[in-house]
């Protein structure tokens, strides 16, 4: 059985997508936990699905989260958002791609015929994440971070890995700074034009609630040029070309095509996805094989894709990936218009467990809310510590 334009009736389609404004850790959302943030995004998404005519409780809530307190954040957030007591929850940790992985899990549940509605996304509160320590006979030792790869594999911190990727792929500091300037300028323009308003929800006390993504600002090229390397003595990545530690959440509603068709609502069909591994020494490279795999799986070329959203963990990483894929957001006019057109994590913020879902929300706004015709393609991708890449190809359906 197929739906409109030959779309399979059980094809997973995103019909609603919302996110919080993103706060810099320790600032705008410092009083909110990962559950508070997730519940706000989930609640707004549930309201949107109800307004479309979906009366069902979600069959599941799937959320990415990297640094939360455990206790199944997705289940707690589902209850906090007002979902029925019968709604379960699944918390996913694929590090910076956790939110995207959660959306893909929801899509698989729908495609398998197990659900008429699944809410998925991600959440992170770096401000409120628990402090951890290793217990040793000599006392507690502060826990800095989990291992991304075991001995004898390389296990670099993400900043040092971005420096190494820039060195190996020839991404200069000047290009990184130019890309950071572009990201912030695009985000500021999107805020001024109100292009982000429909996808966001304000949380917290009225006088303290963020009304925009907190990090976006006007950057001075002269100041950027004077910044010291942030992660390696001879590196090229600085504080301005690395994404900030952030708090935020994003959520989407996924239904089968037959439900979407009955509702008469536009959406984003999850056309194909790919999750791959790469060298743990160069985790930022992961989107390259992931994007190549997802395009091959769908039988389309990158030139056929109208909108591309890359999780901008580091400017060096984005440029290494876009160079390898044949994209040029700093030079080619068409690529400049389709790669992170309203800025990305460098300017909007990078709440780790949520960022992968946030780029799906961005694609929903850029394509569905903006009125792109049926059949228009979008691509979301993220790199992951330990050497992974995740990519999803989506298609507008109307």
User: What is the residue-wise DSSP string for 195-261?
Assistant: TTGGGEE--SSTTTS-SS-SS-----HHHHHHPPPSSSTT----GGGBPPBEEEEEEEEEEEHHHHH
Between CA 171 and CA 315 the distance in angstroms is 9
Work out the number of other CB atoms within 10 angstroms of the CB of residue 299: 9
Is 96 marked active-site?
yes
Query: Strands 133-136 and 139-142, how do they pair?
Result: antiparallel
Between CA 76 and CA 74 the distance in angstroms is 6
DSSP three-state, residue 190: helix
Between CA 20 and CA 10 the distance in angstroms is 29
User: What is the residue-wise DSSP string for 267-292?
Assistant: EEEEEEEEEEE--TT-GGGTHHHHHH
Q: Give backbone dihedrals phi and psi of 37, rounded to 5 degrees, phi first.
A: -65, -45
Helix and strand numbers, DSSP H then E, in the chain: 12, 13
Output b/e per residue, 354-365; b: 16+ Cβ within 10 A.
bbbbbbbbbbbb
Q: Which of 96, 184, 191, 340 is catalytic?
A: 96
Is 350 marked active-site?
yes
Between CA 17 and CA 141 the distance in angstroms is 41
Between CA 250 and CA 22 the distance in angstroms is 10
Enumerate the active-site residues: 96, 350
């Amino acid at each position: 059985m197929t739906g409109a334009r030959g779309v399979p009736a059980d094809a997973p389609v995103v019909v609603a997508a919302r996110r919080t404004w993103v706060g810099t850790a320790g600032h705008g959302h410092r009083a909110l936990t990962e559950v508070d943030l997730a519940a706000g995004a989930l609640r707004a998404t549930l309201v949107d699905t109800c307004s479309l005519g979906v009366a069902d409780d979600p069959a599941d809530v799937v959320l990415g989260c990297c640094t939360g307190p455990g206790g199944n954040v997705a289940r707690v957030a589902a209850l906090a958002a007002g979902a029925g007591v019968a709604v379960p929850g699944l918390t996913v940790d694929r590090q910076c791609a956790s939110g995207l992985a959660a959306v893909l899990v929801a899509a698989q549940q729908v495609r398998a015929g197990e659900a008429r509605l699944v809410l998925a996304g991600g959440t992170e509160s770096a401000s409120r994440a628990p402090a951890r320590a290793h217990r040793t006979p000599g006392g507690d030792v502060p826990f800095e971070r989990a291992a991304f790869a075991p001995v004898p594999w390389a296990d670099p911190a993400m900043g040092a890995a971005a420096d190494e990727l820039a060195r190996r792929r020839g991404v200069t500091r000047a290009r990184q700074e130019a890309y950071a300037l572009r990201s912030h300028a695009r985000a500021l323009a999107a805020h001024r034009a109100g292009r982000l308003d429909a996808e966001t929800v304000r949380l917290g006390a009225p006088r303290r609630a963020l009304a925009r993504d907190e990090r976006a600002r006007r950057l001075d090229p002269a100041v950027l040029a004077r910044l010291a390397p942030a992660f390696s003595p001879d590196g090229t990545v600085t504080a301005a070309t690395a994404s900030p530690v952030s708090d935020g959440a994003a959520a989407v509603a996924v239904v089968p095509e037959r439900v979407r068709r009955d509702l008469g609502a536009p959406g984003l069909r999850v056309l194909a996805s790919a999750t791959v591994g790469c060298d743990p020494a160069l985790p930022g490279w992961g989107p390259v094989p992931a994007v190549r795999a997802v395009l091959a799986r769908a039988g389309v070329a990158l030139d056929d894709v109208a909108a591309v959203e890359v999780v901008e963990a580091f400017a060096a990483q984005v440029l290494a990936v876009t160079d390898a894929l044949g994209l040029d957001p700093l030079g080619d006019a068409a690529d400049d218009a389709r790669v992170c057109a309203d800025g990305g994590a460098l300017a909007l913020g990078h709440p780790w467990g949520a960022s992968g879902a946030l780029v799906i929300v961005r694609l929903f706004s850029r394509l569905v809310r903006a009125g792109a015709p049926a059949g228009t393609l979008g691509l979301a991708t993220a790199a992951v510590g330990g050497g992974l890449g995740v990519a999803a190809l989506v298609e507008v359906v109307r």
